[in-house]
Amino acid sequence: MTGKFITLEGPEGSGKTTVSKELVKILNESGYKVLLTREPGGVDIAEQIRNVILDKKNTKMDARTEALLYAAARRQHLVEKVLPALKEGYIVLCDRFVDSSLAYQGVARNLGIDEVYNMNLFATENILPNRTVFFDIKPEAGLQRVYANKEREVNRLDLENIDFHERVYEGYLTICNRFPERIVKVDASQDIEDVLFQVLEKIREIL
Ligand code: TYD
């Protein structure tokens, strides 16, 4: 890997997507080549898997099936898009990665952090980001933003109850403590401009 692999993590409505678009502009202006991508999806096969995972009709989906599908989409996206870009020296900014699976499937769906982590290390062949930025915002505040944003489509996971989203949030806090050398936190409850500024600082530290 010659580029830098940076992932953005956080609960629904934490502002990752908005901030990531601004980050690209600023980093480009500073002369960096940047690839912005997202999970699940990012390449054709992974987008097809995404449609199965997030389809509101798929209420019967088992938690392990869900975890395996996310990992399968991740694998395809990694080999087809992320690794080639890193090889060419790009900064790859990825909206969600393994830590989403640890928080959502490992903790909120109760599959266990270690189990989901090991399964994901198989999928990624032990590749982890150089830096992960966690957008720290309480789930109620994040969900309020989601519902205020009419353009964003509500998916199967958004429809989970507030307890689920509380568990996701607790999961993220546990993961932050577990991987302190890789994951840094920003206060995502602030205005988007302030969040952007904090994230930029955390990214510049490793460039
Ligand atoms: P998306 O519409 O991309 O939401 P967001 O803008 O919040 O990223 O939907 C992705 C959903 O999938 C989101 O609810 C988080 C969930 N998810 C997992 O549960 N596990 C995973 O490994 C990933 C990547 C996402």
pLDDT at 158: 73
Q: Which atom of ligand 1 is nearest to the CA of 97?
A: 24
How far apart are the C-alpha atoms of 131 and 59, rounded to whole Å? 34
Nearest CA to ligand 1 atom 4: 12
- Ligand 1 close to Cβ of residue 143 (< 6 A): no
Sheet hosting strand 183-187, strand order edge to edge:
34-38, 91-95, 4-9, 131-136, 183-187
What is the chain's mean pLDDT, rounded? 95
How far apart are the C-alpha atoms of 164 and 183, rounded to whole Å? 22
Query: Cα of 31 to ligand 1 centre, how many Å?
Result: 30
Amino acid at 205: E
CA distances from 22 to 27, 34, 200 (A): 9, 12, 10
Among the residues of 59-138, which ranges form H helices? Answer: 63-77, 83-87, 98-101, 113-124
Tens of pLDDT, residue by residue over 92-132, are: 999 999 999 999 999 999 999 999 999 999 999 999 999 99
* Of the candidates 156, 145, 171, 164, the residue with the CA atom closest to the CA atom of residue 55: 156
Tokens of 187: 């206060």
Residue 155 vs residue 105, higher pLDDT: 105
pLDDT at 155: 80
| Residue 81 DSSP symbol | I
Tokens of 12: 């629904």
pLDDT at 167: 97
Query: Cα of 64 to ligand 1 centre, how many Å?
Result: 16
Percent of the chain with pLDDT over 70: 100
Q: Write phi, then psi, for 191 (nearest 5 degrees).
A: -60, 150
How far apart are the C-alpha atoms of 107 and 100, rounded to whole Å? 10
pLDDT exceeds cutoff 80 at 152: no
Label residue 58 by pLDDT band (50, 70, 90).
Answer: very high
Start-to-end CA distance of the chain, whole Å, equals 14
Tokens of 33: 């080549």
How far apart are the C-alpha atoms of 147 and 153, rounded to whole Å? 9
- Ligand 1 close to Cβ of residue 130 (< 6 A): no
Residue for token pair 């150089």: 130
- The partner residues of 132 in beta bridges, in order of sequence, read 7, 183
Give the number of other Cβ atoms within 10 Å of residue 206's Cβ.
Answer: 12
pLDDT exceeds cutoff 90 at 15: yes
How far apart are the C-alpha atoms of 195 and 192, rounded to whole Å? 5
pLDDT at 123: 98
Query: Cα of 32 to ligand 1 centre, how many Å?
Result: 27
- Ligand 1 close to Cβ of residue 39 (< 6 A): yes
pLDDT exceeds cutoff 90 at 135: yes
Tens of pLDDT, residue by residue over 16-34, are: 999 999 999 999 999 999 9
